[in-house]
Structure 1
Amino acid sequence: MKIDYGWRARLADDELTALTRSHGGTAEPGWWDRIRTHSLGWVTGREPGGELVGFANVAWDGGDHAFLLDPKVRPDHQHRGIGTELVRRAVAGAAEAGCEWVHVDFEEHLRDFYFGACGFRPTRAGLIALR
């Protein structure tokens, strides 16, 4: 199956809300419209007919650090390399923008994906849960 990928490509809030909900996530309408301005860029994955099947967001600090957020692939399209390609293109977009680092955090069951398929390496980091 051919997937068309785009960096900072058109993306409607309702499409992203539907994609997020397709795999059990919660997304309130207006979510994408609120956060888009804080993004360095994003990667979309679409079927040739235009349906959104994958997404990854890249936030940043305005300097050297980018943050991979919210990568997702529609469940019926998973395990086909789409997520790995979304991440690869997100990292490339951050590098082209002059970022020196891309950070990601994830749940334990995604460890092999990020460290194996995507090339991230473990680091020491800290976290404060606010809720």
Structure 2
Amino acid sequence: MTITYEWRGEFDNAALDALHADGFGHPAGRTDWRERLHRHSLGWVCAREDGALIGFVNVGWDGGVHAFILDTVVAEHRRAKGVGTALVATAAERARAARCQWLHVDFEDHLRPFYFDACGFQETTAGLLAL
């Protein structure tokens, strides 16, 4: 089976809600992802296998040189098979093509090996303020 990766790919809100629910362990919502992404994102990458959405990453940005990885998610049955790494690599390639100079990510500690080892991010000092 072939997995394809598409920048700013078409998707169904319900399919992306279901993927998020599977990936982040919460009930499926009713988010208008299409509206949200078209309004706030540089782009996004959809991973598909036989037409089914199996992976997704959102690339937010500041309108200038900074892009941000958000909501990286891969379907449970396709994890640890390189799908997430390919999603992030495609996102980085497209952010670079948009003349972004920095790609930021924040994550939970258990994802350090994925982002630092598999995806090549470097550790940096950052701050976070819970609102």
The TM-score, its normalising length taken from structure 1, stands at: 0.94
Q: Percent identity?
A: 51
- Superposed structure 1 runs of 4+ greater than 3 Å apart: none
The SS at the match of 1:41 is strand
Q: Does 1:16 align with 2:9?
A: no
For the residues of structure 2 that align with 1:80 and 1:90, how far apart are their CA atoms?
Answer: 18
Aligned partner of 1:68 in structure 2 is: 69
For the residues of structure 1 that align with 2:6 and 2:26, how far apart are their CA atoms?
Answer: 23
Aligned partner of 1:2 in structure 2 is: 2
For the residues of structure 2 that align with 1:100 and 1:121, how far apart are their CA atoms?
Answer: 14
For 1:40, which of 34, 39, 42 is the aligned residue? 42
Amino acid at match of 2:68: F
Measured against aligned partners, the alpha-carbon deviations of 1:15-42 in whole angstroms (never above 9, x if no partner) come to 1001011131455313413421211000
Structure 2, unaligned stretches of length 5 or more? none
The SS at the match of 2:17 is helix
Aligned partner of 1:107 in structure 2 is: 108
Measured against aligned partners, the alpha-carbon deviations of 1:36-76 in whole angstroms (never above 9, x if no partner) come to 121100000000x2000000000000000000000000001
* Gap change, CA 1:96 and 1:25, over 3 Å in 2: farther
The SS at the match of 1:127 is coil
* Gap change, CA 1:97 and 1:124, over 3 Å in 2: same
Structure 1, unaligned stretches of length 5 or more? none
For the residues of structure 2 that align with 1:126 and 1:11, how far apart are their CA atoms?
Answer: 33
